[in-house]
């Protein structure tokens, strides 16, 4: 969530929604009586002197006093319903009911003196983060380009290099040249649209070879490579190894998720008696102040958004009593948490060991 503007005296903030958990936090924070503003469109009907009714959809900014809210876990969207208390156009729609729908990428304004400090904290947490990382991973058989951002981990392209081309009977040298030409072209396209952090991975010798091939083709792309990370194998498997070891760091959510979940899996193996599974058991553990870290998948959070037990857990996290991490869905890390019921709690004493 990005904070775009704020008026503390009024208790007002303009926020940009950047990920699905922003929507979850917004859903929980906005209460009945708060005013939500959004640029939207509305169908306006006007009656002519003849008695005929014209219908026209117009763009405008409205503010509604929230009365009800609802969530769509499948589409990852939230809705606020209430009476219109503000409009920037004279359309005679004040006090009429309106629904504001919010999804990722939307900009919304909230007026709530009580909840403003929490909104500001969420906005400040979203500042200064690395938005995107591109990993190039290779060995003598496979080369892969993988994009890691707030949405997860996506394999953009893979190539078979020497080993694969030998088996297929290709001219190895010509094939290698073609592969690296395509790699650099892919990196040019990626860096022209945004400014991702580039990381090069592979065994020591292969990382140097890839770096040299990139530099020979485009010095600008070569200068954008921030780090070289040694791994035992290249390609997509090298990315998986790096995620398991945590060597890519925690600058992006999928990386931090992977590190936390790997730590949790080790804790479960060593101290299964101090791990709590399932919503009821986790809530009970948090109540007794034993819960230090709760991990839940984003899908689990959305499916239980109106569950009182989950709200109790999230409220404790909001107050700093426990730590809570929502693990990005459709990742290896979320698969592991889902296999344990979607939510787990690790006691503080285990984390401190």
Mean pLDDT is lowest, of 46-50, 72-76, 121-125, 249-253, for 46-50
Range of the domain at 21: 2-125
% of the chain exceeding 90 in pLDDT: 53
CATH number, domain of 116, equals 2.30.30.870
CATH number, domain of 258, equals 3.30.1330.30
Among 180, 214, 245, give the residue marking a domain's end.
245
Are 159 and 272 members of one domain? no
Q: Are 1 and 123 a contacting pair, CB within 8 Å?
A: yes
Are 115 and 145 members of one domain? no
- The conformation of residue 330, written as its DSSP 8-state character, comes to S
For residue 65, give both structure tokens.
Answer: 């006093």
Give the model confidence (pLDDT) of 15-29 as tens digits. Answer: 999 888 899 999 999
Residue 165 pLDDT: 47
Rounded CA gap, 28 and 326, in Å? 15
Residue 352 pLDDT: 59
Give the ranges where 246-307 is alpha helix by DSSP (H).
253-270, 279-287, 298-303
- What is the mean pLDDT of the segment spanning 329-351? 90
Residue 225 pLDDT: 92
Among 125, 148, 166, give the residue marking a domain's end.
125
Give the model confidence (pLDDT) of 150-185 as tens digits. Answer: 778 889 999 988 654 455 545 667 888 899 999 999
Are 145 and 234 members of one domain? yes
- What is the mean pLDDT of the segment spanning 60-87? 94
Are 100 and 215 members of one domain? no
Are 212 and 291 members of one domain? no
Are 62 and 114 members of one domain? yes
Are 235 and 296 members of one domain? no
Q: Average pLDDT over the chain, rounded to whole? A: 87
Q: Are 69 and 110 a contacting pair, CB within 8 Å?
A: no
Rounded to two decimals, what is the model's pTM? 0.77
Strands (E), the chain: 2-7, 12-16, 35-47, 53-72, 77-87, 97-102, 107-111, 132-138, 142-149, 152-160, 197-202, 225-230, 275-277, 291-297, 323-327, 343-347
- What is the mean pLDDT of the segment spanning 271-300? 90
For residue 80, give both structure tokens.
Answer: 């606020």
SS3 4: strand
In the chain, how many domains are there?
3
Rounded CA gap, 50 and 299, in Å? 54
For residue 210, give both structure tokens.
Answer: 């890839």
Are 202 and 96 members of one domain? no
Are 71 and 13 members of one domain? yes
**Would you place residue 123 in the very low, low, confident or very high pLDDT band (cuts 50, 70, 90)?**
confident
Are 216 and 233 members of one domain? yes
- Number of neighbours of residue 152 by Cβ within 10 angstroms: 17
Rounded CA gap, 26 and 36, in Å? 11
Are 120 and 17 members of one domain? yes
CA contacts within 13 A on the Cβ side of 284: 8
Among 245, 261, 277, give the residue marking a domain's end.
245
Query: Could you write out the DSSP letters of every residue in 58-118?
Result: EEEEEEEEEEEEEEETTTTEEEEEEEEEEESS--S-TT-EEEEEE-TT-EEEEE-TTTHHH
- What is the mean pLDDT of the segment spanning 134-142? 91
- Burial bucket for residue 186 (CB in 10 Å: 0-12, 13-18, 19+): middle
CATH number, domain of 172, equals 3.30.420.60
Are 115 and 214 members of one domain? no
% of the chain exceeding 70 in pLDDT: 92
For residue 199, give both structure tokens.
Answer: 């990381």
């Amino acid at each position: 969530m990005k904070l775009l503007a704020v008026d503390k005296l009024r208790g007002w903030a303009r926020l940009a929604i950047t990920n699905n958990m922003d929507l979850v936090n917004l859903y929980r924070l906005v209460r009945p009586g708060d005013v939500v503003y959004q640029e939207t469109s509305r169908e306006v009907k006007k009656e002519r002197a003849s008695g005929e009714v014209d219908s026209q959809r117009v763009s405008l900014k409205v503010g509604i006093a929230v009365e009800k809210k609802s969530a769509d876990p499948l589409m990852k969207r939230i809705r606020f319903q209430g009476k219109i208390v503000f409009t920037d156009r004279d359309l005679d729609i004040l006090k009429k009911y309106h629904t504001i729908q919010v999804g990722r990428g939307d900009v919304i304004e909230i007026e709530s003196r009580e909840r403003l400090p929490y909104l500001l904290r969420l906005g400040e947490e979203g500042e200064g983060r690395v938005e995107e990382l591109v990993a190039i991973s290779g060995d003598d058989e496979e080369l892969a380009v993988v994009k890691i951002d707030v949405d997860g981990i996506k394999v953009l392209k893979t190539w078979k290099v020497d080993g694969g081309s030998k088996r297929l009977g290709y001219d190895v040298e010509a094939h290698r040249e073609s592969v690296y030409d395509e790699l650099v072209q892919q990196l040019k396209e990626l860096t022209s649209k945004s400014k991702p952090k580039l990381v090069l991975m592979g065994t020591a010798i292969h990382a140097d070879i890839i770096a040299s091939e990139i530099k020979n083709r485009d010095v600008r792309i070569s200068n954008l490579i921030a780090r070289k990370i040694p791994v035992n194998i290249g390609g997509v498997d090298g990315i998986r190894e790096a995620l398991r070891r945590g060597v890519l760091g925690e600058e992006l959510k999928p990386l931090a998720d992977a590190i936390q979940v790997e730590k949790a899996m080790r804790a479960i193996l060593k101290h299964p008696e101090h791990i709590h599974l399932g919503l009821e058991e986790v809530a009970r553990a948090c109540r007794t102040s034993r819960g230090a870290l709760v991990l839940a998948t984003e899908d689990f959070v959305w499916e239980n958004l109106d569950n009182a037990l989950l709200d109790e857990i999230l409220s404790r996290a909001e107050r700093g009593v426990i730590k809570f991490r929502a693990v990005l869905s459709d990742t290896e890390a979320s698969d592991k948490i889902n296999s344990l019921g979607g939510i787990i709690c690790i006691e503080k004493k285990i984390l401190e060991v």
